[in-house]
Amino acid sequence: MGIEQGEKTLKVKVIERTWRTEIDSSYGGVPVITAHREVLKIADGEVISRERGIVVQRSLEELKNADDSVKFKNKTVTAVEMAEYFSAFIDKWAGERTASDVRMSDRHVAIGVAPKA
């Protein structure tokens, strides 16, 4: 049993946002971008509610066949350019890794043991 402490009126800010983005580029498959959306309710700077929203998914084939673009910071960017930007950054980051950054799956390959899928 709780002790009732009265009621409080809060100003609630509602935000819909992407909380997770996945890029599936399995060998031999068609690359797919998946974005998971959520609705946040925020009061006094604190998240008071989080609800999972829709999942948006596009394959690279769909992006290539669509004239899809957005205007961002006074620059128009196509979906294909966005995918190319991601690829360039990932290549850059992979090149910056040091020997101590090698991931476990890389270690398996290095010693001839294939990681489990």
Which of 29, 34, 3, 1 has its CA nearest to residue 18? 34
> Over the stretch 51-102, which tens digit does the pLDDT of each residue have?
999 999 998 888 877 778 889 899 998 888 888 888 888 888 888 876 556 6
Concatenating the DSSP letter of every residue in 27-68 gives TTS--EEEEEEEEEEEETTEEEEEEEEEEEEEEHHHHHTS--
- pTM > 0.85: yes or no: no
Look at residue 111 and tell me whether its pLDDT is greater than 70.
Answer: no
Domain residue spans of the chain: 11-59, 67-117
Other residues' Cβ atoms within 10 Å of the Cβ of residue 65: 10
The β-bridge partners of 71 are 76
Which residues have C-beta within 8 Å of that of residue 24, sequence separation ≥ 6? 31, 32, 33, 34
